[in-house]
Structure 1
Amino acid sequence: MTGPHERRGWSLAVVLAAVGLAAACARVASPPPGELYRNGRPDHGAELIQRYGCGSCHTVPGVDRANGLVGPPLTRFGARSYIAGELPNNADNLRRWIQNPQSVEPGTAMPNLGVTDVDARDIAAYLFSLE
């Protein structure tokens, strides 16, 4: 049988573990939405997602016929902590991933599509708007 002090110690350990877990799951990097929306055009980004065929592999909310199941769904992308489980989710990293995913994760199923820097910026602006 455990005494009141032992139970209190166990409860405190559980609370501390939960707090530590919550802190570890907290966002690593906040995307800088101000920079994205000043420099990128989310409305054009949605058009580009369709033009580059991103929806053949990804489900992308707000983009017509973007219901692919090969890659992960891009719902709530702006609220995510990481890109491809590799990079902190911020504007520079997202543009890098969109333009050259193989340089981030060699062998990834995501192909290099020849996305220009301007197009990557607009696509990123759209994806960050998905919160």
Structure 2
Amino acid sequence: MPASVKWLLLLLGLGVLAAGAAVGVQAWQLRSERRILAAEHTGGDVEAGRAAIERYGCGGCHRISGVPGASGRVGPPLAGLARRFYVAGRLSNRPAELILWISHPREADPRTAMPDLGVDQRDARDIAAYLLALGPPVP
């Protein structure tokens, strides 16, 4: 193989690597921005929300990205929640309504199948922050 072709392939490979790195950095920035906005809008802590989701056993009913064992199929999957217009098909998807739904689902809808798990306000804010920081659902 001529040296000029080798150099061309090397440069092409480096370009592909650079493009991949740029996409990775862009994805990281987007995740960071989502986490910051979610924390600001809910007054919650994203990482504490993940831990609270595990403690309350939310993954027994819901699939939740990033939460070990959260593979339930009773409730809807929660990836992409931030892009939805409604929470539980009834409430506007705003932080206050999401926090109400997490902490007192039967107060929001007395006929819901979602149990009231006794989630306190701090944990509800943290869980809301985590859920709103999740990216789009995986196809």
Give distance in 1, aligned partners of 2:111 and 2:72: 20
User: 1:77-118 CA distances to partner (integer Å, 9 max, x unpaired)?
Assistant: 111110000011011000000011111111211000110000
Structure 1 partner of 2:62: 58
What is the distance in 2 between the residues matched to 1:83 and 1:113? 17
2:88 is the alignment partner of 1:84:
yes
Q: Determine the structure 2 residue equivalent to 1:94.
A: 98
Q: Deviations over 1:19-64 (max 9, x none)?
A: xxxxxxxxxxxxxx74x41321001101100100000000000100
Greater per-residue helix proportion: 2
Please, which runs of 5 or more residues in structure 2 have no aligned partner? 1-35
Cα separation, 1, equivalents of 2:66 and 2:94: 21
Q: Could you say what secondary structure the match of 1:44 adopts?
A: helix
How far has the Cα of 1:125 moved from its partner? 0.2
Q: Which residue of 2 aligns with 1:104?
A: 108
What is the CA–CA distance in structure 2 between the aligned matches of 1:41 and 1:103, rounded to whole Å?
24
Q: Determine what percentage of the aligned residue pairs are the same residue.
A: 48
C-alpha separation between the residues in 1 aligned to 2:62 and 2:130? 14
Give matches, 1:1-131, under 5 Å. 34=37, 36-38=38-40, 39-131=43-135
Q: Which runs of 4+ in 1 moved over 3 A?
A: none
Gaps of 5+ in 1: 1-32
> For residue 86 of structure 1, what is the amino acid of its counterpart?
R
**TM-score of the aligned structures, taking structure 1 as reference length:** 0.71
> Could you tell me how far apart the structure 1 residues matched to 2:80 and 2:118 are?
25
For the residues of structure 1 that align with 2:96 and 2:60, how far apart are their CA atoms?
A: 24
The alignment's TM-score, normalised by the length of structure 2, stands at 0.67
